[in-house]
């Protein structure tokens, strides 16, 4: 099946919407959260466990898989789905953010990005054409254009230059496609400047993509600025196509951006925080290393139906984490991903039932602690 998207319902009180993305590897109900599987694996969990948690789609990283083991190797072994034993949809990012984060190891030109591998120091050139070649070889269901992630803060002049480069790269990505089976999303940059965001959207929609992503958010800007830019930008995107907020993942941000009309999200927060002992609960976050949980018989969250909460106490989880046992990372990750998947499912149901406004009110009424500490 070729890629398509349909809006099934809308909230009467907000801009939240219920939808479904169709891909060759199955459907994705939206709004959806995408766990990050950088190296073709969501750290510590098997594909079967992800399916059991209700994960619909995972994200793999073009930059990392290009460097190791190499997209050619993965292509010879049947593509990324077969390589990682995952038969549901896969989104691959372009590597633009990784290039952004490796500022001391790269040089940007009109042609592309020349960078030094963080693994062995070898030098590589990543062009828009190369990014599409890599992603098509991987066999991803949703590909992303190469873009330059504008840092924060940046002047308007710097942001405009960066935006023009991203637009040119987007055009070249579109022109270099050789297959039609995968979707290609354009990425809207423009920093914190609304006029540049609007300009970027107009340029990208003239090129024409299967979906559009908000880039350059959650890169150090104040939360209020991020939400303000999102509130301005989202209504300007084509309504019939999916809207994707890249790298946004705090539960409060998910609720706010769903309310503004976002369909897709990805973030390392549930997995990375799990490995650091931070667990998400309805009232905020729980830091399992705290001494108060040394003899606590309760699960992470009373009423949670995840495997971790059904079988293990806070005391046991704290013991594993303090002992640096690998099982700690697995059990913590299971709970956090379940929390995020459940949050998205509850939002979809609230939109379906016409009560998203009430859901949002109830969500915030439970957020009594952003962090549960000693």
Q: How confident is the model at residue 371 (pLDDT cuts 50, 70, 90)?
A: low
Token pair listed for 236: 């300007």
pLDDT above 70: residue 373: no
Distances (CA, A) of 132 to 39, 87, 104, 135, 182: 18, 21, 25, 5, 11
Q: For residue 172, give the 3-state DSSP assignment.
A: helix
Task: Please tell me the distance from the alpha carbon of residue 132 to that of residue 172, in angstroms, as a whole number.
Answer: 9
Average pLDDT over residues 188-216: 98
Reply yes or no on whether the pLDDT at 7 is more than 90: yes
Q: If pLDDT is split at 50, 70 and 90, which confidence band does 104 have?
A: confident
Structure tokens at 227: 């939400």
Residue with token string 């699960």: 299
Tell me the pLDDT tens digit for each residue of 90-101: 999 998 777 767
Share of the chain above pLDDT 90, in %: 90
pLDDT at res. 105: 73
Q: State how far the alpha carbon of 199 is from the alpha carbons of 27, 160, 194, 206, 354, in Å.
A: 32, 10, 9, 11, 34
User: And the tokens for 118?
Assistant: 């963080």
Looking at residue 374, what is its pLDDT? 38
113-116 and 17-23 as β-strands: parallel, antiparallel, unpaired?
unpaired
Structure tokens given for 286: 């729980």
Mean pLDDT score of the chain: 95
Q: Residue 220: is it exposed, middle or buried by C-beta count within 10 angstroms (0-12/13-18/19+)? A: exposed
CA distances from 142 to 33, 78, 118, 173, 271 (A): 14, 17, 26, 13, 22
Mean pLDDT in residue range 273-279: 98
**For residue 36, is pLDDT > 90?**
yes
What is the C-alpha to C-alpha distance for residues 193 and 221, in angstroms, rounded to an integer? Answer: 12
Active site residues: 93, 266
Strands 183-188 and 211-214: what pairing? parallel
Which tokens go with 179?
A: 């297959």
* Domain range 33-266, CATH class: alpha beta
pLDDT tens digits, residue range 284-318? 999 999 999 999 999 999 999 999 999 999 999 99
Query: Taking 80 as the threshold, does the pLDDT of residue 69 lie above it?
Result: yes
Q: What is the pLDDT of residue 98?
A: 77
What tokens were used for 245?
Answer: 């907020």
pLDDT given for residue 333 in this prediction? 98
pLDDT the model gives residue 1: 62
pLDDT (tens digit, 9 = 90+) per residue, 251-266?
Answer: 999 999 999 999 999 9
Domain ranges in the chain? 33-266, 275-366
Integer Rg of the chain from CA: 20
Model-wide pTM > 0.85: yes
Query: Is pLDDT of 370 > 80?
Result: no
């Amino acid at each position: 099946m070729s890629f398509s998207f349909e809006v099934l319902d809308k909230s009467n009180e907000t801009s939240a919407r219920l939808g479904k993305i169709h891909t060759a590897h199955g459907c994705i109900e939206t709004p959806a959260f995408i766990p990050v599987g950088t190296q073709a694996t969501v750290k510590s969990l098997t594909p079967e466990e992800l399916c059991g948690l209700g994960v619909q789609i995972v994200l793999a990283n073009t930059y990392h898989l290009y460097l190791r083991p190499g997209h050619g190797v993965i292509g010879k072994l049947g593509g990324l789905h077969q390589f990682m034993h995952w038969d549901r949809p896969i989104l691959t990012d372009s590597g633009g953010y990784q290039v952004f984060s490796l500022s001391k190891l790269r040089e940007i030109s009109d042609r592309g990005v020349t960078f030094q591998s963080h693994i062995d120091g070898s030098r590589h050139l990543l062009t828009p054409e190369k990014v599409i070649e890599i992603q098509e070889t991987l066999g991803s269901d949703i590909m992303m254009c190469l873009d330059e992630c504008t840092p924060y803060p940046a002047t308007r002049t710097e942001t405009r230059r960066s935006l023009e480069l991203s637009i040119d790269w987007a055009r070249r990505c579109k022109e270099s496609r050789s297959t039609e089976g995968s979707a290609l999303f354009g990425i809207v940059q423009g920093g914190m400047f609304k006029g540049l965001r609007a300009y970027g959207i107009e340029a990208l929609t003239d090129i024409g993509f299967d979906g559009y992503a908000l880039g350059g958010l959650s890169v150090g800007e104040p939360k209020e600025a991020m939400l303000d830019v999102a509130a301005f930008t989202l209504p300007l995107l084509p309504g019939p196509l999916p809207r994707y907020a890249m790298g946004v993942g705090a539960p409060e941000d998910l609720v706010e951006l769903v309310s503004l009309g976002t369909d897709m999200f990805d973030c390392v927060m549930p997995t990375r925080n799990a490995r650091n002992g931070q667990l998400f609960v309805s009232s905020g976050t729980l830091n399992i290393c705290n001494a108060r949980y040394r003899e606590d018989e309760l699960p992470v969250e009373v009423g949670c139906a995840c495997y971790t909460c059904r079988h293990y106490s806070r005391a046991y989880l704290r013991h594993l984490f303090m002992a640096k046992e690998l099982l700690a990372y697995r059990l913590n990750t299971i709970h956090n991903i379940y929390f995020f998947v459940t949050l998205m499912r509850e939002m979809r149901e609230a939109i379906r039932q016409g009560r998203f406004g009430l859901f949002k009110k109830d969500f915030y009424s439970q957020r009594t602690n952003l962090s549960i500490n000693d």
